């Protein structure tokens, strides 16, 4: 299923050209928690602009029971997504996220050559049109090939489009970002490296307070692009 988005500054596939799965890959499950590998292009919740499958309903159908979201990933982002299987656990996990007890690790392909590492402390809107609030992201550059780099990001706060906004703030926007990226760079990358999606993957999530440590494998299209760049061996092992 391909979906296009274009603006004056961007022109790129927002979602992957292949069909979304009818079942989700389960990375970890207990009686109270289910962690899935969310594919790029699948929204967590049903939205006004989403008439396709979404994670909540897909997982409910798959497990035959109610599930409770405790955090979110952007529709175009892939990777680790945690769901609670009962209200009490949902409250515990929600508190862990709110209180900063969860460490989230992402990998992204960005334009240009960022510094070797750094801490971005830059206010961003709380919601799409909301007030600006403090946002902090730690990052390190894993490798560079030509005009592109592989970056590991660890958001220390959980703000709307935080990593995407912060990398744009550094003048190193994510590849495939229709909101904050560059259309000419996106088209070039799609043509040369074949990635038709946002180059952002939630690779690992750790929550010591609830004994949770789960990693998601690198999606095939992301891995293929890194292979063509000669950066695949630099992807951090879980």
Q: Which of 11, 37, 74, 233 is catalytic?
A: 74
CA geometry: angle 222, 135, 158, nearest 5 deg: 60
Give the span between the Cα atoms of 33 and 63, in whole angstroms.
12
Structure tokens at 204: 């690992």
CA geometry: angle 68, 74, 80, nearest 5 deg: 60
- CA 23, 97, 174, 182 torsion: positive or negative? positive
DSSP string, 153-211: EEESS--TTHHHHHHHHTT-PBTT-TTTS-HHHHHHHHHHH---S--EEEEEEEEGGGT
Strands (E), 85-135: 103-111, 117-121, 124-125, 132-133
Give the span between the Cα atoms of 127 and 27, in whole angstroms.
29
Residue 74 annotated in active site: yes
Which sequence positions are flagged as catalytic? 74
């Amino acid at each position: 299923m391909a979906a296009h988005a274009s603006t004056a500054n961007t022109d790129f596939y927002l979602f992957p050209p292949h069909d979304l799965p009818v079942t989700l890959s389960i990375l970890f499950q207990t009686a109270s928690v289910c962690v899935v590998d969310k594919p790029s292009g699948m929204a967590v919740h049903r939205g006004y602009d989403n008439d396709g499958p979404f994670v909540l309903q897909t997982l409910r159908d798959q497990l035959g029971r109610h599930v409770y979201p405790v955090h979110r990933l952007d529709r175009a982002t892939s990777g680790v997504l945690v769901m609670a299987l009962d209200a009490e656990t949902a409250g515990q996990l929600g508190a862990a996220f709110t209180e900063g007890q969860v460490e989230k690790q992402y990998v992204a392909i960005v334009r240009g050559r960022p510094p070797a590492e750094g801490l971005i402390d830059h206010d961003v809107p709380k919601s799409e049109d909301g007030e600006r609030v403090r946002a902090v992201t730690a990052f390190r550059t894993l490798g560079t090939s030509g005009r592109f780099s592989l970056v590991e990001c660890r958001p220390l706060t959980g703000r709307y489009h935080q990593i995407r906004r912060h990398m744009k703030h550094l003048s190193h926007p994510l590849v495939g970002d229709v909101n904050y990226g560059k259309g000419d760079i996106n088209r070039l990358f799609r043509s040369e490296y074949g990635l038709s999606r946002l180059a952002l993957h939630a690779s690992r999530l750790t929550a010591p307070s609830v004994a949770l440590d789960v990693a998601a494998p690198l999606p095939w299209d992301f891995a293929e692009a890194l292979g063509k760049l000669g950066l695949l061996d630099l992807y951090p092992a879980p």
